[in-house]
Chains A and B, each alone.
Chain A
Amino acid sequence: MTAHVLIVEDSALVVGALRLLLVESGFRVSDAGTVSAAVDAIRREHPDLVLLDLGLRDGDGLRVLADVRGAGETLPVTVAVTGDDEPDTRERCLRAGCRDVLVKPIRAMELPAQITGWLAERTHGARARDTDSATDAG
């Protein structure tokens, strides 16, 4: 089954580049430009993976994680995408529950393989936790 990636990003230019890259690499792609639109999209579409920009118009991108958790939903694998390579940004993202942090510009050649890797990890993780509810098989 085609994995579904949600791009949370408020720059149409960046969305365009990532969408082109991921669609060409065989992923299903949707996007959201604000914290609230991202929370809605995650609850409605249950994407397999979220690429999350940190600086959104209506607030800090990491709020998406807190809001989804607050609504009692399971978090998809989330990878932060930031233009800021300060180490404290990285720590902050990992503490908030991101699987990894990518610094823009995204390396086009590497991203599709990285996404496949994160998704494979998640599937293995889900199998290992066989007593958990099997809601996030994908």
Chain B
Amino acid sequence: MRTPEGGRTALRACAYALPSVPQITNRPDGAASRAYCRPAGPNAKISAMDAQVVDLEQRIAELEEANLDAARTIAELRNQDALKTQFLANISHDLRTPLTAMITHAEILRDGILGPLTDRQHESVEGIIGGGRQLLAMVGEILTYARGAAGQLACVRSEFTVQEVIDQVRALSEPLIARRTHEWDFRIEQELPVLYADREKIAHVLANLLGNAMDFTPPGGRIWVHVGMSEDERGRPALRIEVGDTGIGIAREHHELIFREFAQVDASASRRHHGTGLGLAIARKFVELHDGRLWVESEPGRGSRFFFTIPLRARRDA
């Protein structure tokens, strides 16, 4: 490795490479050591080179100082970033507690536990619950993001079938899809093996992609989930899930942007979508925790097809 001290020694060696110089001393006080080594009598060439060496040494010292400054700044920024991430994790955890209490209170009212409500009261309380749950989901996304940034996300694997995950997500999404008058299709294309993966994270990814499909597909459009097998880039068998829609689509230049944290492609769409801008970034992180890939194929006005793969892993590999 190159060191500043080594560089300086080399410079001196060049400046004094004269046969009459017995040795290059490497004392901290450069001037004194040169005076000692220099042959007797004036020598303009050596003087000029000597001045250059002094100048270079000064510049090296300045650069060293600048390097130290930069290193200190980087360390400080890293430290601040870690603190901010921790703050985000703490605050989102603390935000959830009162929020969940509010939602439970509203549900007590809605479910008539304190007495019957009129239809209009019921509708109003449903509004509180709906808003509360949406807010809770957003806070949950921020918490997941903060944990991911702090390297605290782990893959908790268990054995399950794809059908179980589909059923879980479908049970949650089906009423929504029906209410928004989308046509939809869940299809498992072939017999699939039992997965050994993080069930909740895969369900989360699927639910997120379905949520996007619903948000960005006008009423009357079509939404589908097709599940089959494919191979990953190393030729290993992988589960492949496609979530497609006939919605507004995504321009090619945004195909990667949408997976970046805090990215929102279109302000008006994001206002409708009420997102944190973290949903797809988190989904991709969850897929990558499984060594899988998540990508999109889409054109504006022609719908979107999101794909993700989960390479199969046997329980005994764990």
Contact = CB atoms under 8 A, between A and B. Distances in A.
Nearest to B154: A88
Contacts of B103: 105
A87 interface: yes
A108 B100 contact: no
Interface string A82-103: 0101111001000000000000
B108 A105 contact: no
B318 interface: no
A37 interface: no
B111 A109 contact: yes
A105 B104 contact: yes
B200 interface: yes
Contacts of A86: 156, 200
Nearest to A108: B107
B101 interface: yes
Contact of A18 (B99, B104, B133): B104
B101 A87 contact: no
B187 interface: no
B111 A16 contact: no
A89 to B, nearest CB: 9
Contacts of A107: 107
A132 interface: no
A3 interface: no
B37 interface: no
A24 to B, nearest CB: 5
Majority SS of interface residues in chain B?
Answer: helix
Interface in A1-29: 11, 13-14, 16-18, 20-21, 24-25
B113 A21 contact: yes
B226 interface: no
B104 A108 contact: yes
A120 interface: no
Nearest to A109: B111
Nearest to A13: B101
A44 B113 CA distance: 30
B62 to A, nearest CB: 51
A13 B97 contact: yes
Interface of B: 93, 96-105, 107-108, 110-111, 113-114, 132-133, 136, 154, 156, 158, 198-200
17 contacts: A11-B98, A11-B101, A14-B100, A16-B105, A17-B105, A18-B104, A20-B105, A20-B114, A24-B113, A85-B200, A87-B156, A87-B158, A88-B154, A88-B156, A104-B97, A105-B100, A108-B113
The 3 closest A-B pairs by CB, nearest first: A108-B107, A13-B101, A105-B100
